[in-house]
Amino acid sequence: MGTFSDAVTAAGYGQIIPPLLEDIGVFHRVGEATDVVTKEMYDFVDKGDRHIALRPEQTASVCRAFVQHGPTTPWKVWYAGPNFRYERPQRGRFRQFDQVGVEVLGVEDPYLDIEVICLAWNFFAQLGLQQVALHINSLGEPSDRERYMQALQEYFSANLETLSAASQVTLAKNPLRVLDSKRPEDQELISGAPRISDFYSPQAKAHFDTVQEGLSELGIAFVINEKLVRGLDYYRHTTFEFVGGTLESAQNALGGGGRYDGLVEALGGPSTAGVGFAIGLDRTLLACDDEGVFAPTPEDVSVFVVDITGGKEAMLITQGLRSAGVSADRAFEGRSIKSQMKLADRSGATVAIIIGPDEVAAATAVIRPLRSDREQYIVSRKDLLPSITKELS
């Protein structure tokens, strides 16, 4: 989380905290033909007879907030928090999962698509993940997408008998989503389906070309995946997904996003361009586990105070260190020195400060380096902070 917020804050994004609950209409208006909205939403009627949903994602809430508050554009925001989808739980697919993401409203420029893709790309790189592939596609202008959907409808309808029963149901709702079918019996038909790139208007093609050229220029490797239609309905132009190398294929998207010009209008606002992404933190952590990489655990402290005189000295020293900006932790409940040293080691601390009766009597403290072979040594209590600062520098 810290890695993400530092990166996006440095790029000029401000934090927004969308509510967990929204009027269900906010989500209905953005994806009536998607599983996320039709099957997976947790919804209920509240005491005031309002139909409410637990948010399945946050883009719609950000756009609803934009319509409601009318901030000046470009409006660049980031968010982090839980989302809820009634899915069959399995590794990488949960009913409550966390996302971090960004949204930018009010900018049509394809260079912004590149900026947001870069932010996500850099985040995965900073975590140390090596096996993340960037897939990109463009769904064109709304009219290109309409013509393409029409062509898909005709193509799949003409070959209905070879389409799986589940995909026939999908076809009736949204022919684009048929392309997302993972069922083996659908694959041959899908591979012969019309291609979106044959339907781009000159403007849509120019937009997508700029995105590809920019990514290449920045050295960001990508594959064009024309079947990347995404699970939500609001996308136009650029779409993208970050695919992990270690998870099952149905759950291997670590994050995704794209352009959704038109969503703000669908929610009752003025015509406004939008682009953003969300990264699934649960899947990203699984990928970190699988690849054996870990960002430093944020709970690690610099100093652990071991007090075998009852606990009051540890209270004084940890508070003193923390006020001076040094991260510090301690044990409670009068544990033995052995057990406290074990906790000190587990805390990730660089040094332990050890206080026993002799140290209290002599107004001294023992400093023991925990991550080197150096011997422990004694300092006077008044020199404790400078000695610790030196140890940590």
Instruction: Name the percent of the chain in helix, strand, coil, to the closest 5.
Output: 45, 25, 35
Give the shortest CB-241-to-ligand HAM separation in angstroms: 7
**Which residue ranges make up the site for ligand HAM (CB under 6 A)?**
57, 59, 85, 87, 93-94, 97, 99, 101, 103, 231-232, 253-258, 260, 276-278, 280, 282-283
Closest Cα to residue 368, out of 386, 383, 349?
A: 349
Strand 75-84 vs strand 14-15: parallel, antiparallel, or unpaired? parallel
Shortest Cβ contact with ligand HAM: which residue? Answer: 280
**Number of residues that this document lists for the chain:** 393
CB-nearer residue toward ligand HAM: 77 or 365? 77
CB-nearer residue toward ligand HAM: 35 or 144? 35
Helix (H, G, I), strand (E, B) or coil at 183: coil
Q: Please tell me the distance from the alpha carbon of residue 191 to that of residue 55, in angstroms, as a whole number.
A: 34
Give the shortest CB-30-to-ligand HAM separation in angstroms: 10
CB-nearer residue toward ligand HAM: 85 or 145? 85
Give backbone dihedrals phi and psi of 342, rounded to 5 degrees, phi first: -65, -45
Asked whether 340 and 308 are in contact (CB, 8 A), the reply is yes
Asked whether 118 and 214 are in contact (CB, 8 A), the reply is no
Amino acid identity, residue 209?
Answer: D
Locus of tokens 């209290």: 360
Give the shortest CB-40-to-ligand HAM separation in angstroms: 8
Give the shortest CB-150-to-ligand HAM separation in angstroms: 25
Give the shortest CB-153-to-ligand HAM separation in angstroms: 24
Token pair for 321: 């260190």
Q: Please tell me the distance from the alpha carbon of residue 357 to that of residue 379, in angstroms, as a whole number.
A: 15
CB-nearer residue toward ligand HAM: 180 or 226? 180
CB-nearer residue toward ligand HAM: 254 or 301? 254
Give the shortest CB-263-to-ligand HAM separation in angstroms: 9
CB-nearer residue toward ligand HAM: 246 or 389? 246
Q: Please tell me the distance from the alpha carbon of residue 7 to that of residue 15, in angstroms, as a whole number.
A: 12
CB-nearer residue toward ligand HAM: 97 or 121? 97
Give the shortest CB-393-to-ligand HAM separation in angstroms: 39
Q: Please tell me the distance from the alpha carbon of residue 162 to that of residue 75, in angstroms, as a whole number.
A: 47
